[in-house]
Structure 1
Amino acid sequence: MTVRSRTVEWQDPGDSAKAAATMAGIDFLREIAAGRLPGPPLAALLGFTLDEVEEGRAVFAIEPGEEHYNPIGSVHGGVYATLLDSAAGCAVHSTLPQGTAYTSLDLSTRFLRPVTKETGKIRAIGTVLSRGRRTALAEAGLYDAQDRLLAHATSTCMLFPVPQ
């Protein structure tokens, strides 16, 4: 049996959390995408990045590897769900004014194609479908380099004032 290992480093997530409370969502996400604020530890653990952000839209990317596999040799559905949840949630976050936060209320996911390390880089593209004062609805698609849809999700997010 061949053993593989991986080392993961991340920055204190408290730094970004403090900054989030002082900025509009789009500005906060742009700072993370530009590397001026640390990304979440989960992104370092899984190896994904926030590549694009504009109001109502967020794009994450990952290069799948063996470390993402389930026991049957393909990327685990939890990795798909994490990328889709991140893209949908950050699309919503990009529309929020300073002092407003969100949390996912639900995530409905559909897995359409298998992903392996041979798939190459994949992107999760999230967009806001509707945003009100208390909730927002977003969707996200997971795509390969040929723009084939690999998975799809919808998410409802609850909006609330940032706790003091």
Structure 2
Amino acid sequence: MNPQQMSGLEIMQAMCAGTLPAPSMSETIPMLTEKVELGEVHFKVKADQRHLNPLGGVHGGFAATVLDSVTGCAVFSMLEAGIGYGTIDLNVKMCRPIPQNKELIAIGTIINISKNLGISEGQIVDEDGKLYAHATATCMIIRA
């Protein structure tokens, strides 16, 4: 099916199933879509040597990018075919350093969706539920 005729949920589910390619950003910041439901998405993420700051720790931009992606995709999962979105506000809180070479889970969930705005939240956690970073995002819904 043509992605332009698919809803956001259908596109995200096709990426999760591997029938549509992942966005190229997932090559820069390793993000693998693991679960997609209406208003909720889960990514497996892992920072590596490409994501380090001058001190040798994982750069905060890694968490910010992952959280921007997962919150945006939660909004996208709510949109009809042909409707786009763009982040207009992202508020990120770093709770502890992101470890290098450890698989983490990024979860995005919808808080509210209206005609013009989608509000969502995201978190990066480990397998035990330990919180590494949290974000809220507001996305503008773009109707062509």
Amino acid aligned to 1:41: S
State whether residues 19 and 28 of structure 1, in contact with CA within 8 Å, keep that contact through their aligned partners in structure 2.
no
Q: 2:132 aligns with which of 134, 150, 164?
A: 150
Q: Match of 1:43, SS?
A: helix
Q: Match of 1:125, SS?
A: strand
User: What is the match of residue 45 of structure 2?
Assistant: 62
Q: Match of 2:9, SS?
A: helix
Amino acid aligned to 2:116: R
User: What is the match of residue 53 of structure 1?
Assistant: 36
State whether residues 29 and 66 of structure 2, in contact with CA within 8 Å, keep that contact through their aligned partners in structure 1.
no
Q: Which has the higher contact order (CA 8 A, sep 6+)?
A: 2
User: What is the match of residue 135 of structure 1?
Assistant: 117
- The whole-number CA distance in structure 1 between the counterparts of 2:3 and 2:90 is 23
User: What is the match of residue 84 of structure 1?
Assistant: 67
Q: CA RMSD in A?
A: 1.5
Which structure 2 residues correspond to residues 1-164 of structure 1 after superposition, within 5 A? 19-117=2-100, 120-161=102-143, 163=144
- The whole-number CA distance in structure 2 between the counterparts of 1:74 and 1:19 is 41
TM-score by length of 2: 0.94
Report the Cα offset of residue 98 of structure 1: 1.1
- The whole-number CA distance in structure 1 between the counterparts of 2:71 and 2:41 is 7
Residues 124 and 62 of structure 1, relative CA distance in 2, 3 Å threshold: same
Q: Match of 2:110, SS?
A: strand
Report the Cα offset of residue 81 of structure 1: 0.6
Consecutive unaligned residues of structure 1, counting only runs of 5 or more, are 1-17
Runs in 1 of length 4+ with deviation above 4 angstroms?
none
- Aligned pairs, number: 144
- The whole-number CA distance in structure 1 between the counterparts of 2:14 and 2:46 is 22
Deviations 1:69-126 (A, max 9, x none): 11112111111011101110000000111121111111000001012226x2111100
Deviations 1:120-158 (A, max 9, x none): 211110000000000011000110122111010000001
- The whole-number CA distance in structure 2 between the counterparts of 1:133 and 1:113 is 36
TM-score by length of 1: 0.83
